[in-house]
Amino acid sequence: MFLRVATVAPLLSLLGLVVFSEARPQSYAVWAADSGIARGQGNGLLPSGLPTVSYEHGEFQASFWGLRLLYELTGNKTYFDYIQAGVDNIVFPNGTIHGDYNFTAFSQDPVRTGPTFIYLFQQTGESKYKTAADTFRSQLNGQPRTAQGQFWHKLMYFNQGWLDGIYMGEVFYTAYTNAFDANNDTAWADITSQFKLMFDNTLQNATAPNNTGLMYRLSLVSLFIDLCSSQLPARYIDGYDFSHTAIWASPDRGHSPEVWIRAQGWYLMALVDVLEMAPANSGALKTTLLHNLNVLAPKIRDAADPTSGVWWLVITQARRALNYFESSGAAMYIYALLKAVRLGYVEDADGSIVAAMKKAYNYAVENWVVSNSDGTMSWKNTVHVGSLDTTGDFNYYVSQAVDLDDLKGLAAFLLASLEFEKL
Ligand SMILES: *[C@@H]1O[C@H](CO)[C@@H](O)[C@H](O)[C@H]1NC(C)=O
Ligand SMILES: *[C@@H]1O[C@H](CO)[C@@H](O)[C@H](O)[C@H]1NC(C)=O
Ligand SMILES: *[C@@H]1O[C@H](CO)[C@@H](O)[C@H](O)[C@H]1NC(C)=O
Ligand SMILES: *[C@@H]1O[C@H](CO)[C@@H](O)[C@H](O)[C@H]1NC(C)=O
Ligand SMILES: *[C@@H]1O[C@H](CO)[C@@H](O)[C@H](O)[C@H]1NC(C)=O
Ligand SMILES: *[C@@H]1O[C@H](CO)[C@@H](O)[C@H](O)[C@H]1NC(C)=O
């Protein structure tokens, strides 16, 4: 049972008329979720039918978020069952995580599905979900780190801390510590440090070209420290590939060359989601996150394109030919900042942050939501990937494929809609 956007809406908006109230479906959140489910998205399986342990599925099922929130909001068990079936596709009855999961690759990406394991354990009491969560927790215990202590994004990305990894790994780290290890002060301090190091090492400052005050994609800062450190563990030097890493790392702080919309989005979502979970006894975690969020929130507001209200794919190269407005990052910003204001993490005394997010949301709905003839909606303009395997420069980012119904964008739109509909 899908609700359709009235087909007259685009015509009327061409005439400049405001028709949102009658043209919109009752809930874009529900529409986005039901459309993803109808397409079988985020269910732990690849289109080929093989199991996959994917952060995109984690974002959609999203334990505390997405489908789970919709389940709590509507009481519709379809959402819960979909989450559970998705996890059962990647966790054997004995708790082994299977599919394409590779423990020794030490990638933070699959760990994003972990909060869902914890949620299902709490809901069902079935030990396989706890066993699966324990596996990710032990992965983090062995996760390679820079000399400063930042988790590498993956073993193969030598010494690289990625903004993306904070959403993939640290949301789970927090959920796990909260659920099973709440008095582990070392863990709370470690989570705090993951956020802080990433922030300090990648934030643009006034001396940066085209400064936006936002965060570069990733940091290799500790490379320098590692090479100078007298207490250097052997593995930090073994396999060190200067020619590869030097391609994009800045000579001073080691950051990547551009502010990429989605990386900043992952980090912002992690800030608000972890703030929501962090208990009182989590040491400096809350104050650290609140500080970072309050630095970033007005910068995100100000970095929006003044006409459309949304953001360029490469934020540091506004209006440059081939740059475009990207939809997953925008949805992430809307979700994170509306939630930040709603929960009082960011004070929005003049209402300018909420106003900016509303403007962006309206643009998203008008331009990126497509009503399909089968009653589902589609979501446009999400960039497929943005890796740093190569140069990580402007030309690299703008040459990446743009997807329809990419789950990274659709799931973020579901989250953004949940927040927008609470306004
Ligand atoms: C629950 O959600 C599913 C789709 O996800 C929908 O088909 C069904 O009608 C919903 N049930 C209720 C009672 O709203
Ligand atoms: C868990 O179950 C799977 C599938 O049946 C099996 O291949 C695997 O060996 C089992 N692992 C353990 C540790 O028992
Ligand atoms: C798992 O990852 C390790 C480290 O990257 C790699 O050496 C190994 O070949 C991978 N295993 C599989 C089955 O892909
Ligand atoms: C507490 O957290 C630290 C850091 O993650 C970890 O090394 C340690 O094993 C944890 N302690 C317990 C009892 O789980
Ligand atoms: C500001 O950023 C530039 C470029 O990354 C860097 O060289 C400089 O050390 C930074 N200054 C501070 C105070 O962080
Ligand atoms: C600054 O932004 C302009 C406009 O988008 C762009 O053409 C230029 O390349 C950018 N400069 C740097 C150093 O990134």
Q: State the average pLDDT over residues 244-272.
A: 81
> What's the rounded mean pLDDT across residues 183-200?
96
Whole-number pLDDT of residue 393: 83
What does the H/E/C string look like for 86-104? HHHCCECCCCCECCCCCHH
Per-residue pLDDT at 201 = 87
- Residue 12's pLDDT band (cuts 50, 70, 90): very low
Band the pLDDT of 30: cuts 50, 70, 90. Answer: very high
If you average pLDDT over every residue of the chain, what do you get? 87
CA–centroid distance, residue 94 to ligand 3 (Å): 22
- pLDDT tens digits, residue range 367-393? 999 999 999 999 999 999 876 666 678
Say yes or no to pLDDT of 240 above 50: no
Whole-number Å distance, alpha carbon 315 to ligand 6 midpoint, is: 10
* 320 touches ligand 6 (CB under 6 Å): yes
**End-to-end Cα separation, the chain, in angstroms:** 25
pLDDT band at 257 (very low <50, low <70, confident <90, very high): confident
For ligand 1, pick from 2, 30, 76, 84 the residue to mutate: most ligand atoms within 8 Å of CB.
76
Q: Which residues contact 377 (CB under 8 A, 6 or more apart)?
A: 2, 5, 28, 31, 32, 35, 369, 370, 371
Closest CA to 290 of 304, 276, 301, 300: 276
pLDDT at 247: 61
Q: Domains along the chain?
A: 8-422 (1.50.10.10)
Mean pLDDT of the region 333-354: 98
Which residues are within 8 A (CB) of 66 and not within 5 positions of it... i.e. 6 or more apart? Answer: 33, 59, 60, 411, 414, 415
pLDDT in tens, 110-151: 999 999 999 999 999 999 999 999 999 999 999 999 888 999
Q: Which residue's alpha carbon is at the smallest distance from atom 6 of ligand 1? A: 1
Cα–Cα distance between 76 and 296 in angstroms, integer?
Answer: 36
- Verify whether ligand 2 is closer than 6 Å to residue 231 (CB atom): no
- Measured in Å, residue 141 CA sits from the centre of ligand 4 at 8
Ligand 5 binding site (Cβ under 6 Å of any ligand atom): 205, 207-208, 250, 252-253
pLDDT(39) > 60: yes
pLDDT (tens digit, 9 = 90+) per residue, 296-327? 999 999 999 999 999 999 999 999 999 999 99
Predicted local distance difference test score (pLDDT) of residue 76: 96
Ligand nearest to the CA of 207: 5
Residue 5: what pLDDT? 42
Q: What's the pTM? A: 0.90
Alpha-carbon gap, residue 282 to 270, rounded angstroms: 16
Protein residue with its CA nearest to atom 9 in ligand 1: 1
Q: Does position 8 have pLDDT exceeding 50, yes or no?
A: no
What's the pLDDT tens digit per position in 52-62? 999 988 888 75
321 lines ligand 6 (CB under 6 A): no
pLDDT range class, residue 248, cuts 50, 70, 90: low
What atom of ligand 3 comes closest to residue 102's alpha carbon? 1
CA of 332 to the centre of ligand 5 (A): 27
- pLDDT, position 62: 59
92 lines ligand 2 (CB under 6 A): yes
* Ligand 1 close to Cβ of residue 23 (< 6 A): no
Residue 231 confidence (pLDDT)? 30
Greatest alpha-carbon span in the chain: 69
CA of 79, closest atom in ligand 1: 5
- Residue 228 is predicted with a pLDDT of 34
What residue owns the CA closest to ligand 1's atom 11?
Answer: 76
pLDDT value, residue 388: 63
49: region left, alpha or beta (phi > 0 left; psi from -120 to 50 alpha): left
Of 119, 41, 161, 66, give the one whose Cα is nearest residue 413: 66
Percent of the chain's residues with pLDDT above 90: 73
Smallest-distance ligand from the CA of 145 = 4
What's the DSSP call for residue 44? Answer: S
Cα 295 to averaged position of ligand 6 atoms, centre (Å)? 23
Give 260's strand partners. 314
What CA–CA distance (Å, rounded) separates 243 from 365?
Answer: 44
pLDDT surpassing 80 at residue 348? yes
Which ligand sits nearest to residue 110's alpha carbon? 3
